[in-house]
Structure 1
Amino acid sequence: MLDQTPVQIAWVTTDLAATEKVLTALVGAGKWTRMPGVHFSPEMCTYRGRPADFVADISLSYAGDTQLEVIAPVTGPSVYTEFLDRCGPGLHHICVAAADGDRFEAAVSEAERDGAPVVMSGTMPGGMRFAYVSAENSGVPYIEIAYIPPQIQALFDHIKQEQN
């Protein structure tokens, strides 16, 4: 697997505003940047081995150098709705980032080889690739492995700079 500090901690909720407020108070999150209606299309995303088609509202902030993400599912089945149905709102995943596409592929393959199968994966507009792996029976609900291309990293850097 990747040898690094996680770059993101994420929560799934039914109420973005309430979760943002608590995270701001408890962990010092800065200004939140909301991205409503993010569509994960069947051409670009799979969920449990099948084409996915769902929408989620997403909000990003930073506490220090760590990105905080809050996800509120809107429509369609996903790892987010699955989690809410099983556990209710809460801490959902941490994310580790690969330096490039080859390392992303290698990290995903290694996770699967080590008993953490891919539950959901895809490519976001701008080329960000992601794979949620899970070793649920071992107490690890989801780890997100991501490749964050320079264009998306620039957006994240801008969001982080807006914290001040």
Structure 2
Amino acid sequence: MLTGRHYQNAYVTRDVDKAVAAFRENAEIRKLIEVEVPVQLWTPEGEGQGVQKLAFVWIGDLQVELIQPGAGDVLALYRDALPEGDEVKFHHICQLVDDWEAFMAKVDQEKFPVVLRGGTPGMLEFCYLDTRDWLGHYTEYCWMVPQRWAGMGGR
């Protein structure tokens, strides 16, 4: 299943600060947002909270998400993909969808399993489908209200 509008390429790393420095040196950054946040997540193994250090680097209309997983069992999806060193490693793409309920109804009929889900209902919701056998990477889907999209740097 591939639907929605592609807006993000995401990478995992052991050192977000080093990755951000490399983007500052090598890319024309339109907007940069850096946060370290605890997030409540659902996985097939259960629910829990994880802490991630994140950077959202906008280059034109493409957002590059840099993810440094921290504490929390629910972050295995990211931790298991980390490179041995502190470079960046491609992890997933993200597609923006307009209608979350309609999208999730389709997901229930698809062959790609949901491996991670989170967000704030009514504000921003996301899920990851395991599309690795098809595309070689995960595919994240995200929905958010227009104010949140603008706050994230979208246009």
TM over 0.5: yes
Further displaced range: 5-14 or 81-90: 81-90
Further displaced range: 116-125 or 127-136: 116-125
Distance 1:152 1:142 in 2: 23
**TM-score scaled by length of structure 1:** 0.78
Distance 1:85 1:152 in 2: 31
Look up the match of 1:147.
Answer: 143
Distance 2:85 2:137 in 1: 11
Look up the match of 2:131.
Answer: 135
Structure with greater proportional strand content: 2
Structure with greater proportional helix content: 1
RMSD: 2.6
* Identical-pair percentage: 26
Deviation per CA, 1:95-147: give whole Å up to 9, x if none.
0011022233134335xx2x321111012477211111113233532100111
- In the TM superposition, what is the alpha-carbon distance from 1:35 to its structure 2 partner? 0.9
CA contact (8 A) 1:104 1:146 kept: no
AA aligned opposite 2:39: F
Look up the match of 1:40.
Answer: 39
Aligned length: 152
CA contact (8 A) 1:104 1:147 kept: no
1:52 partner SS: strand
Look up the match of 1:55.
Answer: 51
AA aligned opposite 2:38: H
1:19 partner SS: helix
1:46 partner SS: strand
Residue segments in structure 2 that go unaligned for 5+ positions in a row: none
Look up the match of 2:21.
Answer: 21
